[in-house]
Structure 1
Amino acid sequence: MAVKDSPTGWVNEHIRKYVETDGAEGHEWRPGVHTLLLTTKGRKSGELRRTALIYQRDGDNYVVVASQGGKPQHPSWYLNLEADDQAEVQVAADKFQAHARTAGPDERDRLWALMNEVWPSYSDYQKKTDRQIPVVVLERI
C-alpha cells in the first residue's frame, strides 16, 4: 500500500529527503534536533499516512509530542494512533514496527520536560490551547 506523506509543504519536502537518503538528510533537522518518520493507518480512510516528528530517546523507547503547534485539536497522526496503536517508525536508516501509547500521569511530566529540553517551543504551544498536549511513547515491537 502506498504511503501518503504530510500535505504540509515543508514537512512533505523534509520527508522526501529523509526517505530518499535513508535519513542521512533530515534525521538531524536542526543542530541538536532529531526527527523520526511516523507512519500510521488512517482511522477513517485506512490509508497509510506519514509525518516527521521531533523525538527524544527514553531508554529503548522514542518519545514524540502531539502538539500541532498548539492548535485546539489533536493532530491526525495522534487520532490515528488512538484508533490503532501500531505504527511504523524510521529513525535515520533504522525502520521498525512500534506500539504507541500516551504517557500516563506518572511519567508525563518527566517526558514533557525531556521534550522541552530539545524543543522549548512546546511550552509555548501548550499556552495556546486548552487541551493537554499528549506525550507519546513509541515502543519497538
Structure 2
Amino acid sequence: MAMGVRWVQKVSSTRGFARVAPYVLPALDRGVHRLTRGKVLLSARLLPGLVLTSTGARSGLPRRTPLACMPEEGGNSWILMGSNFGRPGHPAWSHNLLARPDAEINWQGEDIAVSAALLRGEERAAVWKAVVEFWPPYAAYQRRVEREIRVFRIVRKRTER
C-alpha cells in the first residue's frame, strides 16, 4: 500500500478529521463534480466514490450527497457505509434511503437508477468485514460510536426495453 494512502487512512481515523471533514469534503466534492459535469469527484482520488441523489424522507426534495463506496463485482452494485465520519448520529442520506429506497447515483459520470437495501445480520457482518479490509478507518469510526453503522447495498435497476 502506498505511503500516501496509509497516511490518509491514519488521518481520516482521527476525531479532528471527523469534526472538520463532514463540512469541507462534501462541499468540495459537490462543487468539483458540478463544474466537471460529473467527470471528477475529488474524494474518489483516494477511495471510490459516487454522488447519491436520494429523496428527502420528510421534504420529498432531491438530496445530492457525495459518498465513498465499495463497488462490488459485476459493476451493478455498490456498498455504502453510513459512518458519518465516526460521529454519533446516522447521516441524513441513510434516513432518506430507509424511507425511500429508490434513488439515483452518478458513478464515474454515468447517472444510474438504483434501489437500496439496508444490510442486516450475517449478510451485514460479511460485508462489514470486507469493508474494513477495503478501508480500515471504518473500524475506528465504529469504535467511536455506540450506534451500529448502517451498511447499504445499492443495486442498479433493470431497464425495460
Structure 1 distance, partners of 2:43, 2:90, is 25
Structure showing the higher helix proportion among its residues = 2
Pair 1:68-2:71 in alignment: no
Structure 2 distance, partners of 1:137, 1:79, is 14
Deviation at 1:30, TM superposition (A): 3.1
Structure 2 distance, partners of 1:119, 1:65, is 11
Question: Would you say the 8 A contact 1:55–1:115 is kept in 2?
Answer: no
Aligned residues: 134
Aligned to 1:18: 33
Question: Would you say the 8 A contact 2:118–2:153 is kept in 1?
Answer: yes
Structure 2 distance, partners of 1:58, 1:123, is 20
Specify which of 36, 43, 68 is matched with residue 50 of structure 2. Answer: 36
Aligned to 2:94: 78
1:94-109 matches, cutoff 5 A: 94-109=110-125
Structure showing the higher strand proportion among its residues = 1
Deviation at 1:118, TM superposition (A): 3.0
Q: Which structure would you say has the larger Rg?
A: 2
Structure 1 distance, partners of 2:146, 2:120, is 18
Q: Which runs of 5+ in 1 are unaligned?
A: 1-6
Alignment partner of 1:88: what SS? strand
Q: 1:59-88, CA deviations, whole angstroms, 9 ceiling, x for partnerless residues? A: 331111001012222100000111111111
Give the aligned CA root-mean-square deviation in angstroms: 1.8
Q: Which runs of 5+ in 2 are unaligned?
A: 1-21
Structure 2 distance, partners of 1:62, 1:27, is 18
Q: TM-score, normalised by structure 2?
A: 0.75
Question: Would you say the 8 A contact 1:81–1:100 is kept in 2?
Answer: yes
Q: 1:89-122, CA deviations, whole angstroms, 9 ceiling, x for partnerless residues? A: 1111111111101112121122112222332111
Question: Would you say the 8 A contact 1:89–1:96 is kept in 2?
Answer: yes
Higher alpha-carbon deviation: 21-30 or 90-99: 21-30
Structure 1 distance, partners of 2:91, 2:53, is 13
Identity %: 29
Q: TM-score, normalised by structure 1?
A: 0.85
Alignment partner of 1:116: what SS? helix
